[in-house]
Each structure stands twice: as structure tokens, then as C-alpha cells.
Structure 1
Amino acid sequence: MDEAGELSASAARVQRALADCGLELTVMEMPEATRTAAQAAAVVGCRVAQIAKSIIFRAPQSGRHVLVVTSGANRVDTGKVSALLGEPLEKADAAFVREMTGYVIGGVPPLGHAHPPVTFLDRDLLGHETIWAAAGTPHALFRLTPAELERACGGAVADVAED
């Protein structure tokens, strides 16, 4: 937050997107970086597994962007996600992420994207009472339940983690 206590523009967009979903959740901007799952967990005092990482992939055949919201303790198995999607995936570069989501890498939230993504949710997130997700900047987060995550971004719950 700035000196007046207002959220930055990107974090405020996430706050509005949450409200648009009917969720009364609070975006918090931190002085410390929350760019990685380990950093975010340290800042809020939770386990790394409770961080909901929003990772963007590019589906080159269709040009779609694919959002995988995964537990901070997991790595995404792109083969599993490709099989669910029905087409190959590739790593998205920073420009593609910014164009499709409207946010920078390290701050991509699970909702409020510039263009609606194809979304997959890591089933491992459902085993936590509360989780934390990025909120538009590499310094912003919000706390929610797995049910609220499903409500906020939709998508298919699936096994997306590497074994």
C-alpha cells in the first residue's frame, strides 16, 4: 500500500476481481517480496504447500494461455496438463504472460486476467484449510480457502504435479 493506504493499480484490480466474484477477501501488499512460493510462505508464516502458484503456459497450436494454479510445494508436470488440454504446452515468456494476464511474472493472480485462460487447479491445494495466492504484484497476496479459489477462477481440479 502507498502512504495513503491505497493498493497499487494491479493489486486494486485483483481486489475488484475478488469483489466481482462475491468474495470478501482482502488483498495485502507487503514490504517484502513474495515473488516465489518460498518468499511468500516466509512473509505470511505458512507452509510452502499452502501457496497457490499461478503459472502461465502457452498452447502454441491454439494460441491460448493456460493457467495452472498449483501448490507451492509442487512442480507442474506439463505432460499431464498437455493431456488434459489435448494439445502441447510450452513455457510462456514474460511478454506473453503480461499480454494475456495483464500482470507480471511473480505477481500473477488466479483470477482477473486480461483474457480468460484455460484453467487447471492442483488437487493438492484442496487438502489445506487456507491457502495464499498472488494478488497482482510481486509484493501482494490474499488469503482464501480452496473452495473460494475454485469459485474465483473455476477450472478443472486435476493431478497436475510431477510425481
Structure 2
Amino acid sequence: MPFNIDVGDIIAGLAFLLSGYATWQTVSFNKKQKSLVESQEKLNNLLLEKENEDLLNEKRAYLGASFIKLGSSKYRLRIWNKGASTARNVKIEFPEGNDVVIDSEVTDKFPMESLDRHQTVDLIAAVYMNTKRKHVVRLIWEDDAQSHNEKLYYPTL
């Protein structure tokens, strides 16, 4: 039984091969497309997280404490707000005791009703020869992001 191949069979075979190649290309393209969509979705989620974090940072107050030296022998404990929001009901505590800041300064100025962005408050520090160089200060405040914020600082002379 002879096997006859005519032009129609060759065209059909080429069409079948072309169809198989096109199917393979489509599957390959769909895999790449799916990978691209997944990476784009991850990127969008990261951007949303960043935007949410930025919005939250705009509602936060960032308080700090450090000693500053004025002249040759005058010191101040400076409390500052570098955050984007106003700190409210600001309190100060000295967990290891207060032997450097004058007590009347603390009781007169704290608790502060508000400490605005870039605002500072200075407390007079009485520094003597036997004054320890490192102190512990706890600041407690409220802001638009949280109703209770608390942080320990270790200012040094």
C-alpha cells in the first residue's frame, strides 16, 4: 500500500506544526503575563503599605531628650518634638531618679498640654562635679496616631 503525499497533505502538516508552535508561544506568553501581573500586584501592595505608613507618620509626634550646654557651666535638658503632629499631654519621668533637673522646673512645666512640631522646652539642669553623666528619661505622650506613646531616652552630659 503506497503512501501518497500530495500538496494538500503538506499544507495540512505545516498548518498543524504552525498551530502547535502558536499554542506553545501562547502558553509561554501567558506564563510571563501571569508572572508580570503577580509582581505588579506585589508592587501595588508595597506602595499601599508605604502610603499607609506615610499617612500614619503624619499623625505621629516624635519626641526626644538631650542635654545642651549653654556657656561654660550652664546645662539644660531639652525636650523636643521632631514629628509631624502635635504631642498632647506630655509627661516626663525619671525611672532611676532625678538628681540633675530642678524639681520645680519639672512640676511647673509638666504635664504639658501640647508640644507642637519643632517646638522645644528646656529644663534647667544643675550639674556638679559628682553628677552622673548618663541619665534615664521616660517621655509619655498622646498624638493623632496613638493615645499612649512612651519612650526611654538616655541623654548624657
TM-score between the two structures when normalised by the length of structure 2: 0.23
Higher helix share: 2
TM-score between the two structures when normalised by the length of structure 1: 0.23
Which one has more relative contact order, counting CA pairs under 8 Å at least 6 apart?
A: 1
Higher strand share: 2
- Higher Cα radius of gyration: 2
